[in-house]
Structure 1
Amino acid sequence: MDAGTTAGLRIAASVVVPLVKRLLLPRAGPGAEFGERPVRLGRLLSFTGDRRTLSEADLYQLARELVRRAVRAAGPHDPPIAPDEQNAVGYALGHTLRALGDLDMDDVQAFDLGPQRLAAALVRASAPETRALLSADAAHLHDRLLVTACLHLVHQFSKRPGFAARTQVELRRALGEQQEQLRLLLERLPATAVEDTDFERRYAHYVVGQHRTLSIHGVDLHDAQSQAWPLETAYLSLEAVPARDPAEPVPGSGTGYSDGDGGGADPDPDSERTTGPVEAALAGHDRVLLRGVAGTGKTTLVQWLALTTARQDGVPGHLPQLLGRVPFVLPLRTLAREDAELPMPDGFLRWIGCPLTGTEPAGWAVRVLQAGRGVLLIDGVDEIPEAERPRARAWLAKLHAAFPGNLWLVTTRPSALPRDWLGREGFREFTLTPMRPHDVRRFVRRWHEAAGGGEELAATLLRSVRASPELSHLATNPLLCSLICALHRERRGFLPQGRVALYEAALSMLLERRDRERDLYGRLPPKLDEKSATEPLKRFAYWLIRNERTRLERETAVDLLDRLRPSVPQLARAGSAEDVLRLLLDRSGLLREPADDAVDFIHRTFQDFLGAKAALEEHDIGALVAHAHLDPWEDVLQMAVAQARPDERAELLTRLTGRADREEDDGVRTRLRLLALASLDQATRLDPDVRAVVEERAAQLLP
């Protein structure tokens, strides 16, 4: 059997059906859609008429996806066409499928024709000269894909409500023969297909339940259940650019080498550093490494992709490659907690704690990936220790080599990984950009709608943000924007200025003011006030930073509390270390319990802020400088500069610049100098001589 035929048959059942279904409008309930008269094809198609849900661009994108899947299904050793012919075949196939709307026939007539003759009719109706421009191999693949699509189209016609009643008596025998042929063809699937399909339905239900809601940061973080809102409402599509080198400075960036537009050479000569929706990057590339600073929405994007893929009926027209796929959300922070080997596919469900573990058909995950039907969402490479990242990279490379053709998204903070960390595996890198003014407006209105804040309060906040350059600079990612919304509502329009003031106000709101103002304790004082509650949180944060971890084992948290209680009387009066830990988990709004034996912060930014405060109190300026070249310490150092006294700030930046001068590694020296420059934004008061030295060193690097 030749390559084109093989591709057509191998992709027929597992891949084509979800894509072909997009060509048709959704079916109504039995007896609710059409009567007993045959239905013109134009009324059934999703890309014609008044009810269209698929644009012409979506149709051509869908056709190109069919071609890509056919080529992947044929395998790398026997491709049916040359790589540079894929777009031509996709265009020709889209042009041919568009002719469905021009055929002068109804659903019964199309079914009676059968897939071969229906495909021939489409070629005749779509101007055969388009197909004639293809090479012989490309034309053959076009024809096989067209016949396969028509096979499933006529099968879908037969399943629509009232179809049997619309068939003529003289066609009943032919109809029976066609249905039998279709049944036999569909039965050629492996015996495990039915079991796999049944399990995938249950697994999709689980994924939807896990990811359909999102907590509103800053509203009531210790009562997330009552403040969860639908992800479809919460999701805000942000923009991304092809990633720059981590050492390349970005004007106006908060870190000196993360987000932004312009600058830098891209190794791909066909790539331009243009900004666009992050979904466009995913639509155009099946392997993406996405960089973004804390709070930019990387994990929310992972959730949205998992939810969209699991639901299937909600897949947008510009992402047809999600149709027929199975999502696997794999947060790498789990590795740091378990210190275990990363799993192969048969261990995915057990690794993420899925309750369906053990009920899946044997070898199911492997079959999904072998068919190229997986969407692997690898979240948070930066949240595992740096020493573990080479092992994580080897794991990703091994999986990619064994299971080509799947969709991949890997997320990380910008500076955690070197440029082209997965370049050999063909991953394209993109960086999330800060929210633009129109994004902020949309986010603020959605937040207030979900939180019950009202349109007037939202409008007042937006006027404040527009009038304050400081607030405009802060409201550049969803996390900080949500904190601003929460504080604006809680403080009746009074907003703190500056990043440190914002976090200090958030701590005050979450640790004490909210419970006091709700009269939670009546006339009694709270068990922990803000200052007493902050003490263990600082110790937790600094322990996590020093040990390159994102989670505390519960036993470690209790031990830290036990050692701290004698020096903080209010902690001792609040009960045992276990009692205090439970109180912090229940009421602080900053800690959570992702597993029975683990504790972590709701967001890394709070950990960095509190850890920096602890480092300053411990007089650990030497430790801050010694670790400044490591990405987990980057934001910690900037937070320390922001919170330090003027003399501490001057010492910290002087020692950081001195270390850079002595550094022999050019990359580390550049990184330290740019970090010192970026930290000047956080220095409210600083010795002019120190500032001049930092700027002079940075000037050697910048044009």
Structure 2
Amino acid sequence: MDPAVTTARLASGIVIPLIKKLFVRDGPGAGLVDRPVRISGLVSFRGEKRTLSDKDLHKIAAELVRRAVDPVGPGERPVPPDEDETVVRALARTLHCLGDLDMEDVQAVQLGPQALARALQAVEPNATRDLSANATGLYDALLETACLYILHFFTQRSTFVARTLVRHTATLAETVAKTDELLKRVPSRFTQDALFEARYAAHITHKYGMLMIYGIDLTNSPEQWPLDAAYLSLEAGFSRETRHATIRAEPASIRAEHAFHGRDRVLLRGEAGSGKTTLVQWMAVTAARQDRGVLSDGGAPLAPFVGRIPFVLPIRSLTRQDGELPTPEHFLSRIRSPLAGAQPQGWTDRVLAAGRGLILIDGIDETPEKVRERTRRWLQDLLGAYPGNLWLVTSRPSAVRGRWLAAEKFAELSLAPMSRSDVHSFIHRWHNAARSVTDDEEQRELLDAYEASLGAAVRIKQDLARLATNPLMCGLICALHCDRRGYLPHARKELYEAALSMLLSRRDRERDMASPDGVELTEGPKIRLLQRLAYKFILNGKAELDRSHAERIIADTLPGVPVAAAQGDASTIFRHLLLRSGLLREPAVGSIDFIHRTFQDYLGAKAAVEEGDIALLVMRAAETQWEDVIRMAAAHARPQECAQFLLDIARRGDMALSPYRRNQFHLVAAAALEHATELEPRVREEISARTAALIPPKTFAEASDLAAIGAIALELLPGPAGLTDSQCVLTVQTAVLIGGDAAIPLLSEYGDHDYAPVRQLLATAWHRFDTSSYAEGVLAGLTEDDVYFEVTTHEELSVLRTLPSRRRLRVSDGFTSADLSREVRPDSLTHLWLPGTLSPNWFWLSGFPHLNTLTLAPCQDPIDLSSLAAHPALRTVRLMVDQKTTGGEHVTGRVEVVEVPERDLTW
């Protein structure tokens, strides 16, 4: 028998009375005497208070053994009967050693039962000399059990608790006294550091807990909003060099705030307005707050922020003064922190030496190039002196070469453009933030309406969607939309002008930042140089140019811009535009492009108009790459110039030999109408007359031609008001063929049309669009009478559950009965259209209790109908004429089998 099983027979009710006999009774009190009372003075078989003889002790041991081995079944005894007595003698001799222990009961309890048993065995090591292996196992188990109850007995004695409290009180008093003495000898810098760090954390949270958009002076939009409400998590991708240099496999991209997960040194590249500084703020505030909820929600990726002290070091502040970059004790003073004078002496050094720092060096590109190398050496010195901290360095991509900090083991990340879902999330967060800073209930309701209309505008207007690729531009769009009380300007020209003004001059000026390269240009000269560069991009038909080519273009333009020519050569001026305009970037070494193609088209169109190249624009009007240029040229041109420009485009279409080419010119002219700031009515009428024959389309061929023109046709397609049923079908068909999010708002206008074929077309077009966007924008508001909702992918099937219950559903191949049983809501489904091959039997359809009509698409093999007899509500089964079936006799009388032409059942 296992000794553990043996000792399990020794219940406390049996053992405790035996154990109590081993010790004398004590009176009340703490048992405090001049000399501590040892266990040897408490036993009842020794000393003056002896009440237990050696024979009695032997009887106690014998009773423990008897209880442990009896009663048991045959073959279950841990030892043979003739060995019981030897175990009893060994146990009695060991228990007798309690009288020899020179320790107090408090000390014994602190030891624990196993250690007490070893202490007793050490007093009488020969007690088990005559025992067999099995007998020794039984002896060990009994001794440890006895020790357990002995210690339990000690804790229940009247004097134990009081004496323990006295002991702990004395120990605590001794510790306090030693601590007081230590504090007298050691300076109180630890206390000072803790108090200062609390103040510093509150300061960081206050200073960086709000976001600001620079360059916007709008009366009805907030200048700042809470970081918590407005921060948007963006993706960042690893450089190829970083992925190849690391031993572990890096993912293609991560969330930017997880940059320190598995790494402690990061160089983050990002274009102007991409969110670099916002990310720095978020990291600083997250570390300062030490919000365990936020850090735990992020899981392991945010764990590195625990216990960190953030230092936000904008390079433009560190290099504002001439001379060397600051040492750690001067970090706060160099960035002009109001707490610089309050920090304890040596505090920054102690933080960094302990590896507790989060050093956020923002904007390497904002230093003069000659200072940049000195900045790298300064950083190298800090890294060598203070290992173990977290280091983030941010820069625009073109400011520092690739692998600039590779020798220092920095991982390189680049912020990615915002995705479509990021843009809509940003719009929601921006308006949430705006709502949080106003107590005016009416204003909050307005912001609700603004948010909804802006979300629709971004989907409809492709120019807005192309602009909204980073937080800066999204913020500008939100602010303009809010300032204009829910309406964005119809002409992109105004939006671009606001963005250009912010990027070219006001953003740096409002950041109190002097030009790091010594070049000071106002907005006008910058635009003149950039628009010439943009026009050359367009003329060359390229999205990128060699840097040397770009510098030659600037050199050719400089004589016409004397204020720029006086401040440097073409290389110097181009470098200034590259780093400070926010419009140019260097995606690869020696290659230059515009940060937004839309800015390039806007500036290039302005240059073309100013240089009088209207005839060239007319010739290129039907080329896809020139669409935006043509529309922006209409915006820049003077009224008479614009009128002639648009008429020339329309008349060039009149001369086209092919209908398709003619339609292209006419549609481009019509799309450019809305961008003209001023236009004679006769011009508008003449162009509209040409497009009237095309919109709305009258045939499927015309719908296909319009769709081939592209997204610009969407801006010309009308809503359902005033159209015939057939025109509505063809208009919807055109928009569906064009596809994309821009078509969704137009299609949503047809969602409640009375003509069922219009709604059926909408219900079957899901697969041509983003699943969630189309479900939310079109299907959620679609009147479902007589319309089957078509599902072709597993993603659509999953999203279907988020929509209001649908009565009619049509499912394509590729699904199983388990998929449908799991994902389709059974509460209201009445009509179901399935492939005939989906399932060998149809018992599972009983899970849809309201199903009354089942349509089975044609298949080659016979369809077994017998299992349909089990369905309680099914009344009609629709099959193709001549479809082979089996088991039809089982449903006769309850279910009507209807044969329909093949054309009505073809998928």
TM-score normalised by length of structure 2: 0.39
Return the index of the structure with the highest Cα Rg.
Answer: 2
Q: Which TM-score applies when normalising by structure 1?
A: 0.49
Task: Tell me which of the two structures has the higher relative contact order, counting C-alpha pairs closer than 8 angstroms and 6 or more residues apart.
Answer: 1
